[in-house]
Amino acid sequence: MQQVKMEVEQASLVLKLLGDKTRLTIMALLNIRELCVCELLEVFDMSQPSISQHLRKLKDAGLVKEERKGQWVYYSINKTSDAYPLLESVLHYIPEQTEKMEQIIKSNPTLRCGC
């Protein structure tokens, strides 16, 4: 497998984005499975526009991708990004987000929002 080297500037941007606790937690959750914004609302004490803003920054940096399913948008990690090896390394050191994922599953927000 060929390794793609990142420029220092790009690595700096990725690390700066992941330096935010909310974005780092979002990435750790997306490392488990794809999620809709309404699911992320279950684990963060913030508004939907705030979560969407964090996701937009991650998407603009190429770390996440979105897939429209009907009227809903699901987010997942972009494993084809040049930054993915760095992201994967960082996530290796982040505790499992099992409790937060169980909270999402238990509350089942997709029933309420319809996604």
Question: Residues of the chain with pLDDT > 90: what percent?
Answer: 65
Phi, psi angles (nearest 5°) of residue 78: -85, 95
- Is 1 a member of any domain? no
- Is 3 a member of any domain? no
Over residues 57-76, the mean pLDDT reads 93
pLDDT tens across 98-113, in order?
898 888 888 876 655 6
- pTM for the predicted model, two decimal places: 0.87
pLDDT tens across 26-38, in order?
999 999 999 999 8
87 and 81 Cβ atoms separated by less than 8 Å: yes
Over residues 51-55, the mean pLDDT reads 97
Q: What is the CATH number of the domain that holds 108?
A: 1.10.10.10
The tally of domains found in the chain comes to: 1
- Is 2 a member of any domain? no
From CA 56, how far away is CA 75, in angstroms rounded?
Answer: 10
The reported pLDDT for the residue numbered 1 is 43
